[in-house]
């Protein structure tokens, strides 16, 4: 991103990364929306291209709704695209929803176990990400998003097509095409920032403003 001339921010949600010490059963979707809104406000960011990956699509949608005058474009990277009053658990196939909620019951009662790593992840990448993957509060996935109004921001969708039959994201790519958004297929598994970063940047080069 820097080599392409972009200023790039990667906010950490409360309870993850360097903020892991703030993990709590009380953390929810609203907590993470406020995290990103805080970065936009205190870094004084305008004309933001906001990218949400996976669960981050929930967060990015909420941020774009609250900071309409700051967001120039919203990119969903193999991400959930909620409408008003939808939560992640509403958007999952039944089997995946049962796996998510079952992992909470099998654990300490509030943490969701991370998804299995895609089988095309290299041993080197597996060793790297294993140190950083963390569980989240189940409230992040159960809390519905409350939108203030219909979003009018420019949006695009990047659909990772490898193992697409085992993921819940094809429905959002189909919706994006139906609604006339730019929609790009990427031959990669769910986290191309890890497994296919060069190919991802090629697609982003077509999506991001010059």
Please give the span between the terminal C-alpha atoms of the chain, in angstroms, as a whole number. 12
Enter the pTM of the model: 0.96
Assess if residue 12 is contained within a domain.
no
Q: Please identify which of the residues 54, 135, 189, 191 carries the catalytic annotation.
A: 54
185 within a domain of the structure (yes/no): yes
The domain total for the chain is: 1
* Residue 139 included in any domain: yes
Q: Tell me the residue range of the domain where 143 lies.
A: 17-207
Within-domain flag for 6: no
pLDDT attached to residue 210? 63
Residue 164: predicted pLDDT: 86
> Is 2 contained in some domain?
no
Nearest in space to 195 (alpha carbons), one of 162, 172, 169: 162
pLDDT given for residue 194 in this prediction: 95
At 101-148, the pLDDT tens digits run: 999 998 899 999 988 899 999 999 999 998 889 999 999 999 999 999
Q: Quick one: pLDDT band at residue 5, thresholds 50, 70, 90?
A: confident
Q: How far apart are CA 55 and CA 135, in angstroms?
A: 13
Instruction: Give the pLDDT confidence of 44-97 residue by residue, as tens digits.
Output: 999 999 999 999 999 999 999 999 999 999 999 999 999 999 999 999 999 999
Determine the pLDDT at residue 69.
96
Does some domain include residue 127? yes
Has 54 been annotated as catalytic? yes
Whether residue 7 is contained in a domain is answered as no
Supply the pLDDT for residue 106: 87
What is the rounded average pLDDT of the residues 6-22? 95
CATH number assigned to the domain comprising residue 71: 3.40.50.1820
3-state secondary structure of 35: helix
What pLDDT is recorded for position 1?
A: 86
Kindly state whether residue 9 falls inside one of the protein's structural domains. no
């Amino acid at each position: 991103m820097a080599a392409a001339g972009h200023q790039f921010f990667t906010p950490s949600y409360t309870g993850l990364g360097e903020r892991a010490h703030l993990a709590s059963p009380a953390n929810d979707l609203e907590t993470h929306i406020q995290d990103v809104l805080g970065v936009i406000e205190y870094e004084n960011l305008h004309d933001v291209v906001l990218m949400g990956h996976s669960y981050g699509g929930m967060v990015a949608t909420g941020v774009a709704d609250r900071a309409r005058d700051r967001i120039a474009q919203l990119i969903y990277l193999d991400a959930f695209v909620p409408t008003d009053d939808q939560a992640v658990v509403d958007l999952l196939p039944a089997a995946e929803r049962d796996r998510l909620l079952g992992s909470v019951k099998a654990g300490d009662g509030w943490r969701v176990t991370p998804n299995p790593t895609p089988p095309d992840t290299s041993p080197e990448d597996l060793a790297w990400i294993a140190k950083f993957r963390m569980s989240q509060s189940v409230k992040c996935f159960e809390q519905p998003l409350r939108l203030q109004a219909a979003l009018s921001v420019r949006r695009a969708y990047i659909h990772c097509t490898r193992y697409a039959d085992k993921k819940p994201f094809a429905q959002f790519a189909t919706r994006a095409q139906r609604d006339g958004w730019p929609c790009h297929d990427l031959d990669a598994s769910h986290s191309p920032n890890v497994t296919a970063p060069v190919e991802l940047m090629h697609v982003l080069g077509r999506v991001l403003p010059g």
